[in-house]
Structure 1
Amino acid sequence: MENFYLTPEEAAIVFTPRVMELKNKAIAKVMALMGRLQEALAAYDAASDFPFEPEWLQQGPKISKGEQYKSLPWVILDYPRYFSKTEVFAFRSMFWWGHYFVGTLHLAGDVKRRFEASLLTAYAPLAAAGFQVYLPDDPWEHDFENGNYRPIGDMCLEDWKRLVGRKNFIKLAKPFALERWGEIITDIVEAYATLLNVLVKGRD
């Protein structure tokens, strides 16, 4: 028979409505933060000369939230976002309760192949900036647990080249401590700028 009795730790939360009130207020503030972040990313796009294809921006920004990414609340901003059946060009900014913020560039299909030469030459700047590369075959994990990501600076150049070429997609991500809350918009925009810059430089 399933045990429905609360542990003392669970009871302390269940019997205290203020806990959920504060949690809901915090998530509302994260949603507002993501709105400001989207504006900052769009402002960077407007001032840059990155060769966006029109369809990469037509889908528009999307902010979503949920309660159960590995049992914890989350908020995600996808901007820019372009998802088709075979291609992806997306930058995902994620807040994961109790863990960190993450900025992730996801390229797939012909979009990934378009920038593959740039990625092959981007080892040094990406490693220096603290980016990590996604390892599993399923592209839809978002966290850094269980070996999902490996710091680019921890691999040699030849391993990086093999990894860039071995899949139909690539995800490059950088985590930021929750303690960076007040600086997170600047931090993520800077990470985004670094990613776009290395993609452009490799094509010059």
Structure 2
Amino acid sequence: MPKVKLSAGELELVTDASFILTKNNIIQKVYALLGELSEYYVQEIKQYPIEMPVLAPSPKIARGENYEGLPWLMLDFPRIFSARDVFAIRTFFWWGNFFSITLQLAGSYHDQYLPRIKKLYEADEDSDWFLGCSDNAWEHHFLPGNYQPLREFSMQEIEGLPFIKLARKIPLLQWDDAALSLKNSYVEILSILGD
């Protein structure tokens, strides 16, 4: 039977409980941040008289340990997911990578809000928004095959998308400003949908 050996770095980590305790503390802080954001999102959405499923289920925070091998947490609000129709604003934390906020639309919501996404495209020359370009609506990374800057699309490409994923990424090194950036991005999404 082969021996399972640890590298020197692995041995150092496995004997250091503080690493896992620190990780757990950080995850709790992210969970608390998402909880604060959910309260803000609920209040903010009431300020926008737009055609949106405001009576959607309450905010939901989910977490896991293995998105591309790393821990993650996400907040969905509003959140309507059916076999055909999707309307969600998702705030995502991915360990070692970023925070992001994504407007996700499919089915009837795609058709309803596509003109507003096109209007954003026409009006926003210096956009830091990204648009999903993958066939998989459930990928969250920002590698080129999944997202591209909004400005790199043509209008015809936008019109041909089977679903819309409009996203903004906030680096983890901007931790102290992340909550404000996510709040501002949420309000910006609501204003895009309400134009």
Q: Settle same-fold status: TM greater than 0.5.
A: yes
User: How would you bin the TM-score normalised by the shorter chain?
Assistant: over 0.9
Name the SS for the 1:147 alignment partner.
coil
Q: TM-score, normalised by structure 2?
A: 0.93
Q: TM-score, normalised by structure 1?
A: 0.89
Residue 20 of structure 2 is matched in structure 1 by 20
Residue 9 of structure 1 is matched in structure 2 by 9
**Residue of 122, 133, 136 corresponding to 1:135:** 133
Residue 29 of structure 1 is matched in structure 2 by 29
Consecutive unaligned residues of structure 1, counting only runs of 5 or more, are: none
Consecutive unaligned residues of structure 2, counting only runs of 5 or more, are: none
How far did 1:124 drift? 4.2
Name the SS for the 2:46 alignment partner.
helix
Write the distance in 2 (CA, Å) between the matches of 1:176 and 1:110: 29
In the alignment, structure 1 residue 179 sits paired with structure 2 residue 173: yes
- Contact 2:127-2:151 within 8 A present in 1 as well: no
The one-character-per-residue Cα deviations of 1:45-89 (angstroms, maximum 9, x if unpaired) are 1222222235xx332111011110011110110111111111011
Write the distance in 2 (CA, Å) between the matches of 1:83 and 1:124: 29
The one-character-per-residue Cα deviations of 1:9-31 (angstroms, maximum 9, x if unpaired) are 11111110111011111101110
Residue 116 of structure 2 is matched in structure 1 by 118
Residue 109 of structure 1 is matched in structure 2 by 107
Residue 88 of structure 1 is matched in structure 2 by 86
Write the distance in 1 (CA, Å) between the matches of 2:23 and 2:120: 40
- Contact 1:126-1:152 within 8 A present in 2 as well: no
Q: 1:34 to 1:136 in 2, by over 3 A?
A: same
Partner letter of residue 22 of structure 2?
L
Once the two structures are overlaid, the 10-residue window that deviates more, 143-152 or 27-36, is 143-152
How far did 1:195 drift? 1.9
**Residue of 146, 149, 166 corresponding to 1:148:** 146
Name the SS for the 1:58 alignment partner.
coil
Write the distance in 2 (CA, Å) between the matches of 1:192 and 1:49: 15
Write the distance in 1 (CA, Å) between the matches of 2:139 and 2:2: 30
Q: 1:93 to 1:60 in 2, by over 3 A?
A: same
Write the distance in 1 (CA, Å) between the matches of 2:2 and 2:100: 37
Partner letter of residue 180 of structure 1?
Q
How far did 1:130 drift? 0.5
Name the SS for the 1:172 alignment partner.
strand
Residue 189 of structure 2 is matched in structure 1 by 195
Q: 1:142 to 1:30 in 2, by over 3 A?
A: same
- Contact 1:133-1:171 within 8 A present in 2 as well: yes
Write the distance in 2 (CA, Å) between the matches of 1:129 and 1:67: 32
Write the distance in 1 (CA, Å) between the matches of 2:3 and 2:84: 46
How far did 1:185 drift? 1.8
Q: How many residues align?
A: 195
